[in-house]
């Protein structure tokens, strides 16, 4: 099975390429923006036509949540219309299509984990553009599309658009200042890109029924709880101060609760680890990796 990965140099895409090496019958085709520019809709079919693959995984996205509030046209072109074009191109060649979406399709009004059957109702441009992308893909190719919703990702590559990941930001602030202020009123599903990649590849390998899947680690946390556990696991002594999100005003509205229920996915791929276990694994692997410079990112993105 040949899996083409769009956005192969990003946080999730790079782990898809890396984790695929653990699958005996999977090889990957790594594609970056120089190979296929999702801003140029007309070029997408041609860029894909000359490449051989059985599954296309779209990890590309315009995901700078605050920035896209003022660039809605660009957000909908990349996150919605380009996705529909990809799905149509996959259908034409009978290749399966995996589109990576987000927990931000939900409004955060629930207080129990969202299932794939729950009503989506985004509260910002980013979420709205991603939801429309889901719908375009399912409309164009219902029999061959997987919508994979992920959330609050952390991985070795960091987020290219945001300059790093939350863990590295917290570690850096903890070491440098000793005081870390983190919002405690937003609840989410911390998710390892390595675990998400493994689940995505397993869904494809097992030819699971098409449709929507929530691919997140088990468990949930506020950003404050996540930060506190990061520093504890890293054995960094720092004062973690819980604050309300209103102390960090943002251009885009953030939903206050976006915990995703991963039971449907687990029924296919097996038990998905708790985020605490995956965080520990991440930190252990990081200790054995070469040091690298990471720029800070916002505490609630």
| Residue 299 domain-assigned (yes or no) | no
Annotate 112-123 with DSSP letters as a single string: SPBPTTSPP--S
CATH code for the domain of 192: 3.40.50.720
pLDDT for the residue 50:
87
Give the whole-angstrom CA distance, residue 93 versus residue 54. 9
| Residue 181 domain-assigned (yes or no) | yes
| Residue 68 domain-assigned (yes or no) | yes
The answer, yes or no, to whether residue 17 has pLDDT greater than 90, is yes
pLDDT for the residue 151:
98
Please compute the mean of the pLDDT values over residues 24-47 and round it to a whole number: 95
The answer, yes or no, to whether residue 3 has pLDDT greater than 50, is yes
| Residue 300 domain-assigned (yes or no) | no
**Among the ranges given (4-18, 158-172, 257-271), the one the predictor scored with the smallest mean pLDDT:** 158-172
Cα 158 to Cα 47, 98, 154, 185, 195: the distances in Å are: 26, 21, 7, 24, 15
Q: How do residues 276-293 score in pLDDT, each as one tens digit?
A: 999 999 999 988 875 443
Please compute the mean of the pLDDT values over residues 27-36 and round it to a whole number: 96
Please compute the mean of the pLDDT values over residues 198-210 and round it to a whole number: 98
pLDDT greater at residue 170 or residue 297: 170
User: Out of 62, 114, 126, 146, which one is annotated catalytic?
Assistant: 126
Please compute the mean of the pLDDT values over residues 216-245 and round it to a whole number: 97
Query: 183 lies in which domain range?
Result: 2-223+230-287
Which run of H or of E encompasses 99? strand 96-102
pLDDT for the residue 299:
34
| Residue 182 domain-assigned (yes or no) | yes
| Residue 80 domain-assigned (yes or no) | yes
| Residue 48 domain-assigned (yes or no) | yes
The answer, yes or no, to whether residue 239 has pLDDT greater than 70, is yes
pLDDT for the residue 157:
80
248 given a catalytic annotation: no
Let me know: does 20 contact 32? Beta carbons within 8 Å: no
Cα 40 to Cα 43, 75, 97, 174, 251: the distances in Å are: 6, 13, 19, 42, 27
pLDDT for the residue 301:
26
Q: How do residues 52-71 score in pLDDT, each as one tens digit?
A: 999 999 999 999 999 999 99
Give the whole-angstrom CA distance, residue 180 versus residue 228. 9
| Residue 294 domain-assigned (yes or no) | no
Report the chain's mean pLDDT, rounded to a whole number.
93
Let me know: does 13 contact 194? Beta carbons within 8 Å: no
Nearest to 273 by CA among 206, 205, 191: 191
The answer, yes or no, to whether residue 275 has pLDDT greater than 70, is yes
pLDDT for the residue 255:
98
Nearest to 182 by CA among 259, 230, 108, 240: 240
How many domains is the chain partitioned into structurally? Answer: 1
């Amino acid at each position: 099975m040949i899996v083409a990965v769009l956005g192969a140099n990003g946080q999730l895409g790079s782990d898809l390429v890396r984790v695929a090496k653990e699958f005996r019958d999977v090889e990957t085709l790594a594609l970056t923006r120089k190979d296929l520019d999702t801003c140029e809709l007309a070029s997408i079919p041609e860029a894909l036509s000359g490449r051989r693959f059985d599954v296309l995984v779209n990890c590309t996205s315009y995901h700078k949540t605050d920035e896209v509030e003022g660039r809605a046209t660009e957000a909908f072109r990349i996150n919605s219309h380009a996705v529909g074009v990809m799905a149509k191109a996959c259908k034409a060649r009978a290749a399966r299509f995996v589109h990576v979406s987000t927990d931000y399709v939900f409004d955060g009004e629930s207080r129990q984990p969202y299932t794939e059957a729950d009503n989506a109702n985004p509260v910002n441009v980013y979420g709205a553009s991603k939801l429309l992308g889901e719908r375009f893909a399912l409309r164009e190719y219902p029999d061959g599309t997987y919508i994979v919703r992920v959330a609050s990702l952390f991985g070795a590559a960091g987020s290219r658009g945001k300059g790093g990941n939350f863990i590295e930001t917290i570690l850096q602030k903890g070491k440098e200042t000793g005081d870390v202020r983190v919002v405690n009123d937003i609840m989410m599903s911390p998710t390892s890109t390595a675990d998400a990649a493994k689940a995505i590849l397993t869904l494809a390998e097992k030819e699971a029924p098409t449709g929507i899947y929530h691919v997140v680690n088990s468990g949930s946390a506020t950003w404050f709880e996540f930060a506190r556990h990061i520093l504890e696991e890293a054995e960094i002594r720092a004062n973690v101060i819980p604050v309300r999100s209103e102390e960090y005003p943002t251009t885009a509205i953030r939903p206050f609760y976006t915990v995703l229920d991963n039971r449907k996915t687990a029924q296919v791929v097996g038990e998905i680890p708790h985020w605490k276990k995956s965080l520990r694994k991440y930190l252990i692997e990081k200790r054995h990796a070469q040091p690298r410079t990471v720029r800070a990112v916002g505490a609630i993105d």
